[in-house]
A and B are shown apart, each in its own frame.
Chain A
């Protein structure tokens, strides 16, 4: 005899697909869902459905959006002569939170990693190159990992004959950081790339 309703098992199975969610946690989530008011569960279901129907990616920059073009590409006051290249939408959220950037973005949708089968064709690189005609500066805001570096170098090679200025995020001492506890590689880089006072 099967103890639990099959629907519950199926929900558990789907929930356990999330990163960081194991079978046990998924089951607890599924059980908790049963305690929710019916309307709330229906609302969640509707939202999930809407996510498929309404949310897509911006045809210009690749940002996850409900409108196409996305609010940033469509904004009249965003400076189109500067493009900031990032790995995914989460990075845009982080940069937007700083309130220091008024240009536009381009989302690669990943990072070059032949080990994981991600080559240039798997990323939004063609659409990026097509945007470059009116662009003066490209800012590479990629993670300082081996793969981030590979992607940056690849893009730099791709753009080397174009009259576009390429910059990348500075690396160094974090705000509120204590020099004593910063790793040697970061501190070494901060020394090399020091600024005039």
Chain B
């Protein structure tokens, strides 16, 4: 997948801007606040309906204006060309058009434009809480498998129902209807088992990708990703049966605490560098390098299942990395993909080993983009 051109109107700092992108590496440079990241945000919006910086769409509308618009022309490796437009307004809910037709559900956009985004905010994937890693994988697996997304949504809903009943008991002492609790358990187990089995399946694949990619970035160390489900089936037991068994066993504790203590909402995804958990022992540079490897592995998985090459948005790629590692990353950037990189100045990129004179490279001075009329 490629984004051929982008137009922005009243989007963040841009009053009007129109850009044509190169098919390979695109470099956006400019001072702080010039609007480098904004271009990436605009592209991200067209793939995921929202920015990676904020979930408040109002922040995307330019100061003292009330409506913003972003449009992009995409061309697929297999799919037909498509035009995606997003309209933001302070007065009405945002809407999205694909090839001029209004999408009835914004969720329909997900999976159309495979896109991998690396932003400073993603640091939590390696350094944050277990929930941050679950979110990373849930987002990824949902894109390649709509059954995963549906099972996850239904699980979350029924878990909320179960917790509401448990909480009502723990806080207000309302007696628990055990038949109702069992009916809820059956569903928690059913949807939870689907998610757990698929997590195991997809992680198996992801694990190989991320191991290989990390090897290219840093040969001396090995990167291992592991999935540790909260529910542990015994020999010969199905995941669903194990779920039922554990829910039953933890019922007294769950009632006391007013919440569900076993299940996929407690699953762990762990990352190791040479058998040491990165979250605990990784240096800043190691975290960043691990994140880069995870993001490229994300791209490989997307490409594998969607049979479309993803677009890569790499915001502030070299922050926290030493020259040696940056050079390594530049050299192992995937070939034949459209990649967007932001940087405060070009000298910095040269220093990191980037050949700026290459025909594969398109360079944008974002400070000068703002005046270009659409």
Contact = CB atoms under 8 A, between A and B. Distances in A.
Interface stretch (B4-12, B85-93, B181-189): B181-189
A113 interface: yes
Contact of A185 (B150, B157, B186, B187): B150
A101 interface: no
B179 A147 contact: no
B182 A157 contact: yes
Contacts of B154: 146
A114 B187 CA distance: 14
B183 A150 contact: yes
B147 A150 contact: no
Interface in B130-176: 146-147, 150, 154, 157-158, 160-162, 164-165, 168
Contacts of A154: 179-180, 183
A151 B154 CA distance: 15
A149 interface: yes
A119 interface: yes
B198 to A, nearest CB: 13
A114 B165 contact: yes
B177 interface: yes
A158 B147 contact: no
B164 A115 contact: yes
B160 A188 contact: no
A156 B146 CA distance: 29
Interface string A162-197: 000000000000000000000111001000000000
Nearest to A155: B183
Contact of B177 (A120, A146, A147, A153): A120
Contacts of A183: 146, 150
Interface in B170-211: 177, 179-180, 182-184, 186-187
Contacts of A107: none
A112 interface: yes
B91 to A, nearest CB: 14
Given A112-B180, A149-B187, A153-B183, A184 B157 contact: no
A68 B250 CA distance: 47
B187 A150 contact: yes
B147 A184 contact: yes
A185 B183 contact: no
Contacts of A157: 179, 182-183
Contact of A114 (B147, B164, B182, B186): B164
11 contacts: A112-B180, A113-B161, A119-B177, A146-B158, A147-B161, A150-B180, A150-B183, A150-B184, A153-B183, A154-B179, A185-B150
Interface of A: 112-115, 119-120, 146-147, 149-151, 153-154, 156-158, 183-185, 188
Interface of B: 146-147, 150, 154, 157-158, 160-162, 164-165, 168, 177, 179-180, 182-184, 186-187
